Amino acid sequence: MDHQPEEVRYTRVDQDTCISCGACEMAAPDIFHHNDEGLAFSIIDGNQGIRPIPEELLMDLEDAYDGCPTESILISDSPFDTAVHSGDNNE
């Protein structure tokens, strides 16, 4: 029996617009942290947006997205193009 997740989501933070408010980390601490400069990033894959968010964290992701005052949290149904965002890698 194959179990297909209902939703597959990918996320990354646009660090050019992040204001380091901490709202995303409070809403989704298993997805977002802040780097040494205070900018948020996805800990799922070093802010690349190429690994799917675990299904059990999708509600937290939605809460963080809704709570971001600068709309810096990006969500996609498919992986982000890492070539475009390679400068945001925080691993």
Domains of the chain plus CATH, in order, are 10-85 (3.30.70.20)
- Tell me, what's the pLDDT at 3? 57
pLDDT 10s digits, 42-82 = 999 999 999 999 999 999 999 999 999 999 999 999 999 86
Sheet strands (E) in the chain? 10-13, 32-34, 40-42, 73-76
Burial 1-31 (b: 16+ CB within 10 A, else e): eeeeeeeebbbbbbbeebeebebbbebbeeb
pLDDT 10s digits, 9-45 = 999 999 999 999 999 999 999 999 999 999 999 999 9
| Reported pTM | 0.82
Contact 41, 13 (CB under 8 A): yes
